[in-house]
């Protein structure tokens, strides 16, 4: 086995550095393949990608999401970071969910709009036209501020956000190895331990976080609190990452159409609670570029229904990309339409629109995330004008799909 040295300043390096490049290429390529499928006639698409069955049909997808006892999460990759609501099933999942869900529900009430808006107003005010690379960290800080407020805790937000690039890298490698076979497991263990130590230190330095963890676990010794701290870390990462990724895509897309941007700005300046065009625009951003492009499920038992037959143990990739561009569910599915009729105020949300999934495993922070995005975009539109000179941009996938950079985007004060 290769010998590696301990690293105290970051993630333990692999003895073969090319493995991380290969992992990023493989995961990005999988997303590209799912995108490419949407350009093919629906009835001519292959039913599989390698050993993975692919689901893009809204009825089957909805059945899968509403029956997690049959179609279980197979997220051993994230389990390497510890137990949380994201990688458990059954009663254990319910236990972890019940720790944070009431706080999310309370934080997403309309009465909390002013508090959420204040966090994003401060972040947007700090945008620097000469440093576009600072936009994402500023939005991440705002999203993290909303998250900790929701739970009534007060850890060092900057320290948490500074660790997110490392969490992305670790999550990416875990997902890659879950399909390709694990290499250098001792390195993965050291990486997980390094992240655990950092997050434990951050949360244990905050008395409110300690109280939250103590109440969640019911134990009296700090060693018993580790599962709750892991759950906090994964909730913080997942909620912040997906919200900020969508905001970054929205900024890029908005910069490509000055007329649309002005229409959105006019609506934002009115100060009304109801902003139908902005709502439709944000929904369309998540339809065309879902922050979570796919999820993987595994059949606990044989399944025969909805036009498919799967043996027990079948790995299934539920393509949110394919669902969101299903030609039987959407008009002109491969076109971006900010005022899409399917998202009109009088229309019911299509079952083929599931950026937050649905059923028992629906994203716990769905309503809070939607409220955050609307608050953030309102603040951005009132303060800044964007221009995007490079319409096509690379993306990076590591559980969430994000723009690789803000290259070609410029801003100026309104």
Confidence at residue 158, expressed as pLDDT on a 0 to 100 scale: 94
- Nearest CA to 162 out of 131, 141, 145 is that of 141
Looking at residue 95, its pLDDT comes to 59
pLDDT recorded at residue 94: 60
| CA distance between the termini of the chain | 59
Taking the C-alpha atoms of residue 283 and residue 343, their distance in angstroms, rounded to an integer, is 7
CA trace torsion 151, 156, 159, 162 (10° rounding):
50
3-state secondary structure of 57: coil
CATH code, 23-403:
1.10.630.10
Give, in order, the Cα–Cα distances in Å from 323 to each of 40, 115, 117. Answer: 13, 34, 32
312 and 341 Cβ atoms separated by less than 8 Å: no
Long-range contacts of 190-195 (CB under 8 A, 24+ apart): 190/4, 190/6, 190/7, 190/12, 191/11, 191/12, 192/80, 192/81, 192/82, 194/7, 194/10, 194/11, 194/12, 195/11, 195/81, 195/163, 195/166, 195/167, 195/170, 195/233
Collapsing DSSP states into helix, strand and coil, what is residue 381? helix
Domain range annotation of the chain: 23-403
- Cα separation, 276 vs 379, whole angstroms: 16
Q: Encode the chain (414 residues) as per-residue pLDDT tens digits.
A: 334 344 446 788 999 989 999 999 999 999 999 999 999 999 999 999 988 999 999 999 999 999 988 998 765 544 544 554 444 445 555 655 666 666 666 656 666 788 999 999 999 999 999 999 999 999 999 999 998 988 889 999 999 999 999 988 988 888 888 777 778 888 888 888 888 889 989 998 999 988 887 776 655 555 555 667 777 787 888 889 999 999 999 999 999 999 999 999 999 998 777 899 999 999 999 999 999 999 989 999 999 999 999 999 999 999 999 999 999 999 999 999 999 999 998 888 899 999 988 887 667 778 888 999 999 999 999 999 999 887 777 898 987 899 988 888 999 999
Q: Answer for the pair 314, 298: CB distance below 8 angstroms, yes or no.
A: yes
Residues 161, 167: Cα–Cα separation, whole Å: 10
Q: pTM for the complete prediction? A: 0.89
Task: Report the pLDDT value the prediction gives residue 159, as an integer from 0 to 100.
Answer: 95
3-class SS string, 335-350: CCCCCCHHHCCCCCCC
Q: Given the DSSP bridges, would you call strands 48-49 and 52-55 parallel, antiparallel or unpaired?
A: antiparallel
């Amino acid at each position: 086995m290769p010998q590696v040295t301990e690293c105290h300043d970051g993630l333990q390096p692999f003895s073969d550095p090319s493995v991380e490049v290969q992992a990023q290429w493989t995961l990005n390529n999988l997303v590209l393949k799912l995108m490419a499928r949407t350009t093919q006639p629906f009835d001519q698409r292959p039913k599989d990608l390698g050993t993975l069955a692919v689901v893009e049909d809204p009825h089957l997808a909805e059945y899968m999401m509403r029956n997690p006892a049959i179609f279980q999460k197979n997220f051993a990759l994230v389990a390497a970071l510890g137990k949380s609501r994201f990688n458990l099933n059954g009663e254990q999942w319910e236990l972890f969910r019940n720790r944070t869900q009431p706080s999310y529900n309370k934080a997403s009430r309309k009465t909390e709009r002013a508090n959420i808006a204040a966090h994003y107003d401060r972040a947007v005010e700090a945008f620097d036209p000469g440093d576009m690379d600072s936009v994402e960290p500023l939005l991440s800080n705002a999203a993290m501020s909303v998250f900790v407020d929701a739970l009534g805790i007060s850890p060092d937000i900057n320290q948490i956000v500074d660790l997110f690039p490392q969490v992305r890298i670790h999550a990416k490698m875990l997902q890659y190895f879950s399909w390709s076979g694990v290499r250098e497991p001792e390195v993965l263990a050291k990486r997980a331990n390094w992240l655990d130590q950092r997050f434990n230190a951050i949360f244990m330095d905050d008395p409110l976080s300690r109280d939250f963890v103590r109440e969640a676990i019911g134990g009296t010794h700090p060693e018993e609190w580790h599962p709750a701290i892991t759950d906090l870390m994964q909730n913080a990462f997942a909620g912040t990452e997906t919200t900020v990724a969508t905001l970054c895509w929205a900024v890029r897309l908005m910069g490509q159409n000055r007329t649309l941007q002005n229409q959105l700005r006019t609506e934002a300046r009115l100060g009304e609670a109801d902003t139908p065009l902005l709502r439709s625009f944000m929904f369309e951003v998540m339809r065309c570029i879902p922050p979570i492009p796919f999820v993987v499920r595994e059949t606990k038992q044989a399944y025969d229904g909805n036009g498919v037959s799967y043996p027990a143990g079948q790995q299934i990739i539920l393509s949110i990309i394919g669902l969101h561009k299903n030609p039987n569910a959407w008009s002109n599915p491969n076109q971006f339409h900010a005022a899409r009729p399917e998202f009109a105020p009088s229309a019911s949300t299509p079952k083929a629109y599931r950026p937050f999934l649905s059923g028992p495993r629906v994203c716990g922070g769905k309503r809070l995330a939607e409220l955050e995005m609307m608050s953030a975009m309102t603040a951005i539109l009132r303060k800044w004008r964007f221009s995007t000179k490079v319409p096509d941009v690379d993306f990076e996938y590591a559980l969430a799909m994000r723009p690789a950079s803000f290259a070609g985007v410029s801003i100026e004060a309104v």
